[in-house]
Each structure stands twice: as C-alpha cells, then as structure tokens.
Amino acid sequence: MKIYDTPGFPNPARIRIVLAEKGLDAQVQFIKVDLVGAEHKQAAFLAKNPTGVVPVLELDDGTLLTETIAIATYLDNLDGKPTLTGATPRERAIILMMHKRADDQLIDAIGAYFHFGTQGLGTQVLPHKSPEWAGRKEWADRQRDKYIKGLRDFNEVLKSQPYLAGQQFSIVDISTFAALIHADFSGIAIPDDCEALIAWRAKVAERASVKNRSGLALDADDLRRLGL
Ligand SMILES: N[C@@H](CCC(=O)N[C@@H](CS)C(=O)NCC(=O)O)C(=O)O
C-alpha cells in the first residue's frame, strides 16, 4: 500500500494514528506530497484525487481511496477486528454520526479558517483558493466561531463519557485530536471552560499511537516555508 500525504498536516495525521493503532506502519510506503509548493493542485496529483487534498491511499491493485473516514474504515477492517470504526451496527452508526459532526463542525471549519483567515499554506496555494473573494475574512471568522461552537458541543459529550463515541477510543477521537492540531497552528486555543475536552486531549496525547510519533510533526523545510 502507498499513502500520499504530507507529514505533520492534520488530515494525514489522522491516518498515521490509525496505522499506529492497527500496527500497520510496516505495510505502508509513504510518498510525500509538497502541499506548500501546491503539488496537490497539479495534474499528476489531481489524477489520483480530483478534490486535490491529502491523504490518498493507493492499494496494490491500483485502487485509490480518499477521505479519511473511508481510508480508516478500510485499514480498520483489514484484520477482521475493527476497533476504531465500530464492530456492531449500533457502534458503527454512532461513530459515523459523531464523525460527520467532527468533520463538519471541527475539521472543515478550522481548515476554512486556516486557509481564509490566516496566511494559510502561503502564496503558491492561495491562487487555488479564490483569493480575490472580498468577503473571505468575514466568512473565515464565522468558520472559526463554528469551530468553537463545535468544541463546546464536544465538551458537553465528554462530560458523561470517556470518549466521543462512547466508552471506547475511536476514529472520532482521532479526527477531533487532529482538528485541535490544526487549530494550534491556526492560533486558536480550546476555551478554558471546556475542561472535559482539555482533559480528554491530555489523555489522548498519552496514547502510544500519538506520543513521540514521527510523522505527526511538520518537516523543518515546511515549517520554514510556512513561517512557523
Ligand atoms: N475530507 C478530507 C480532507 C482532506 C484535507 O483537507 N487535507 C488537507 C491537508 S490537512 C489538504 O490536503 N489541504 C490542501 C488544500 O486545502 O489546499 C479527508 O477526510 O481526508
């Protein structure tokens, strides 16, 4: 299997954590896509994923899988013992429901704020993001507010259960953790009063699949080019 991604970026991080949770790292060859250089908007990459985003999983038979939830579901079921995407109809339904919320309210909202409310990925990617759109700052601020509202909703969930889809760690926790990474480099912190969420983040950060793991940090060259 090949994974096209960029180390340290939040959506690739979701799949790297899944691989570690499932013990699949050794079966994957990583191919770096230069996001800061806008490689993902060029024809060669768009032929793999027309939506122009990473990660992409390419199977040995050439099948291309995109979208984190699809890739994670595939990887989680390879051994016939899914632990991250649900093992029963009820678990799968709750995980899909909560994951859609994590994508809409957190991952996509903070991503929009990053691209339109900050310097985003910089000058090479900006032309692919409608920079001439006059209302984009105001819209970006609304996306940031949507993200904060999502954090508050998830904080409420965590007041009565240890993980976002119930009693067990799942892909919903992984995606939410990745959203917080994205928010960090967009300069948006968790509100202090979201105590359950803050405690949950500290707990997830201690998991072996997350702690001190290579591939979850940006390359030095990307840090420099992003001015971080
Ligand atoms: N819905 C996609 C989101 C993927 C995504 O937005 N990836 C980011 C990297 S963190 C990306 O490629 N951004 C490039 C861009 O927006 O120009 C998924 O679940 O995989």
Does the C-beta of 143 come closer than 6 Å to ligand 1?
no
Does the C-beta of 35 come closer than 6 Å to ligand 1?
yes
Is 201 in contact with 190 (CB distance < 8 Å)?
yes
* Of 105 and 120, the one with more pLDDT: 105
Is 164 in contact with 176 (CB distance < 8 Å)?
yes
Give residue 129's pLDDT band: very low, low, confident or very high (50, 70, 90): confident
- Write down the pTM of the prediction: 0.95
What is the atom index within ligand 1 of the atom nearest the CA of 11?
Answer: 10
Does the C-beta of 112 come closer than 6 Å to ligand 1?
no
Give the up-direction half-sphere exposure of residue 214: CA atoms within 13 A in the CB hemisphere.
4
Q: Give residue 160 CA to ligand 1 midpoint distance, Å.
A: 31
Average pLDDT estimate for 178-207: 96
Q: Give residue 194 CA to ligand 1 midpoint distance, Å.
A: 26
Q: Which of 40, 53, 69 is the best mutation target for the ligand 1 pocket, counting ligand atoms within 8 Å of the beta carbon and taking the most?
A: 53
| pLDDT tens-place string over residues 44-85 | 999 999 999 999 999 999 999 999 999 999 999 999 999 999
Q: Is residue 31 within a helix (H) or strand (E), and if so which, with residue range?
A: strand 29-32
Q: Which amino acid is at 55?
A: P
Q: Name the token pair of 42.
A: 């060029």
In this predicted structure, what is the pLDDT of residue 217? 86
Does the C-beta of 40 come closer than 6 Å to ligand 1?
yes
Average pLDDT estimate for 152-180: 98
What is the atom index within ligand 1 of the atom nearest the CA of 111?
Answer: 6
* Range scoring the smallest mean pLDDT among 130-139, 144-153, 204-213: 130-139
Is 117 in contact with 143 (CB distance < 8 Å)?
yes
Q: Which residues contact 105 (CB under 8 A, 6 or more apart)?
A: 146, 147, 149, 150, 153, 154
What is the atom index within ligand 1 of the atom nearest the CA of 38?
Answer: 17
